[in-house]
Amino acid sequence: MRVDAGHLQESLSMTPLRFVLAAALLCTIGGGSAHAECQIADAKLEEAILQKPDLRGPANRQTVKDLRSLRDAAFTLWSYGRHADCERLMANIRELIAGPAMTGLGDNDEDAAEEQMAARDPKVRRGATEGRRDEKNAKPLVSVEDLPLGLRSDQIVGAEVRSADDKIVGEVRNVIFGTKDRRDYAVVASGGFFTPGKDSIVVPIRSLKVSQERDSFFLPLPVSEVRSIPLMPDQDYKWLSDEAWRDRNDALFARR
């Protein structure tokens, strides 16, 4: 099956949210014979970002992130030996790069897009699952501040977060480094995938503990208190400039 030019042009006019969904769909239905070896570098995505004013503009910042995510997905396919699927996805990325600006609104059904996005939500919600901290051989948790080798960003983003009584709270969606006041934060939420949503809370990283395997982070609060933590007030990170809000928020996580 081949996606016609008209359908592609329509897809390019979508909002960033719907653009990702359409690009993922294109990956599965893209036509033509695939190359034996997927050449990710041939798409020249970073070069296109530098050369195209539309992609460099602030209105398309999310679009650039989406394109890079699709390229990363192509690399994942390649690493599993799925070269034909990788090449189909790269072909669609090349077409999207060559297309017009992707800031306009299309006429796709936004409700349908939201339903598709909801399918990515983890099925474990806040407080739903007990952990293993009460097992006989459970190793002590380590304060993030006491880690001898520190943490890489890929060990934090996407990691599960648990309450002090070992119940799932959510996952780390983002990390914010306080370049001026050294107050670093983890944006934690349940549901979704790496995108801060309306259910996010802001957690000072210094208040976290981590398992010795570095696969789970722990808040200093039981889940009953986590539920009362005020949610992140906006998804544009304007709260970073609100020192009074941050002071109140940080005080809720002060170690007991």
Q: Start-end ranges of CATH 2.30.30.240 in the chain?
A: 142-252
* pLDDT tens digit sequence for 134-188: 677 777 888 888 787 777 887 888 888 999 998 888 888 889 987 677 889 999 9
pTM: predicted TM-score of the whole model, two decimal places: 0.55
210 three-state secondary structure: strand
* Highest mean pLDDT, choosing among 29-33, 39-43, 230-234: 230-234
Integer Cα distance of 236 and 242 in angstroms: 12
CATH class label, 142-252: mainly beta
Q: What is the DSSP string of 17-78?
A: HHHHHHHHHHHHH--SPPPSS--GGGG-HHHHHHH-HHHHSGGGHHHHHHHHHHHHHHHHHH
| pLDDT over 90 percentage in the chain | 23
β-strand pairing of 216-218 with 160-162: parallel
Q: Three-class SS of residue 111? A: helix
For residue 92, the SS3 value is: helix
- pLDDT tens for each residue of 72-115: 899 999 999 999 999 999 999 888 888 765 555 445 566 666 66
* 218 to 61, 104, 175, 244: CA distances (angstroms): 32, 42, 15, 25
